[in-house]
Structure 1
Amino acid sequence: MSQNKKQLVVVQKIELSIPVEKTWEILKDFNGMSAWHPVVVSSKLIEGSNNQEGAVRLMSLQDGSSVTEKLLAYSDQSRSIAYGMVDGQLPVSDYVSVLTAHAAGQGSIVIWQGAFKRKDDNPAAGADDDAAKKIINAVYAIGLNGLKQRHDIQ
């Protein structure tokens, strides 16, 4: 008998010394995650135009795998970008992620949140809800730390 998959949520944030306008310039490039996320080796658009809803990117990762994601929403006004995973090796399904940049004094705060379900109805050991959350948390933490290391004022 299959277990019901529940909606899981992960939220990470990081403070940067750089102004929110500069932070947004980095984050708003849907096809530019390789400029700040250490695990993303390259990214190429395979459908649509960059930063246009419906655009699809194919990202190559350090471990040789790839992830395909579709841009769902983009707003310069709210400094947010939302995308969903179309294909990839992550143990999640129904994955939607939102990256948002907010002003914080002279600096900025980046919030990265995701909502998803575990991939399998009857998960094997290490593929349950907690494992799915742990992996997405790691993806976000590595990415946000990479953003800080590569682009923050030292």
Structure 2
Amino acid sequence: MDPIQQSKEKWKGKAKTKLQGCKAEQIWPFLEDFFGLDKWFPSLSTCIPVEGISGKPGCIRFCAGFKTPIDEHDKQTLNWTKQKLLSIDPIQRVFSYSIVDGNVGFHSYVSTLKVVSKDEGCEIEWLYEVEPVEGWKLEYLDYFIGSGLGVMAQRMQEALKTMKDALEA
């Protein structure tokens, strides 16, 4: 394969995390709230609606404040993206979105998140693809999404425990 053709191939990755003792139907509402990502994703300070109704294909959210592996030491840059919900299936507990604008260099970025039932709980899968990002390596993106997903799962488990404790009080 010639270098020009190879450079046009998208990066593809997949992150997974298990949530012990949590059912898929308990976790799905957290993810289904498209405008509520800032409650779960680490270092994301803002997630606000730009257009449409949360959970309806075509809606757009503005996310800002996150740090990527590239700019952890850069205090000047406020990272931001606008993300569009492409599709959602509450029965299969899966949705896809794309980044339609932003300042992090992600072009043709598409992600699919899915909650899958497992014997001891559930699992969140996050599949993603993007054109190669200048100044990045695929490993940086894998780390960014994988570590972010791990924190999201932990926060969701804690939220479920708090809700359960409140119901039992």
Tell me which residue corresponds to 1:43.
47
Larger % of helix: which?
Answer: 2
C-alpha distance in 2, partners of 1:81/1:61?
23
Which residue in the other structure is 1:69 paired with? 83
State the distance in 2 between where 1:76 and 1:112 align. 16
> Identical aligned pairs, as a percentage?
24
Q: Which moved more, 1:87-96 or 1:68-77?
A: 87-96
Partner of 1:147 in structure 2?
152
Q: Figure out how many residues of one structure are paired with residues of the other and give that number.
A: 144
Q: Please give the alpha-carbon distance, in whole angstroms, between the structure 2 residues aligned to 1:116 and 1:144.
A: 18
Name the residue aligned to 2:24.
Answer: 20
* Structure-2 residue corresponding to 1:113: 127
Q: Which runs of 4+ in 1 moved over 2 A?
A: 89-92
User: Gaps spanning 5+ residues in structure 1: where?
Assistant: none
Is the CA contact 2:16–2:126 (under 8 Å) kept in the aligned structure 1? yes
**How far apart are residue 139 of structure 1 and its match?**
2.5
For residues 79-122 of structure 1, the C-alpha deviation after alignment (integer angstroms, 9 at most, x for no partner) is 01100001123333111000000001241000001011114xxx
DSSP 3-state at the match of 1:54: coil
Question: Which of 69, 82, 85 is equivalent to 2:96?
Answer: 82
d(CA) in 2 for partners of 1:87, 1:142? 23
| Greater C-alpha radius of gyration | 2
Contact 1:37–1:142 (Cα < 8 Å) also in 2: no
- TM-score where L is the length of structure 1: 0.85
Q: Which has the higher strand share?
A: 1
Unaligned 5+ runs, structure 2: 68-77, 162-169
Aligned to 1:57: 61
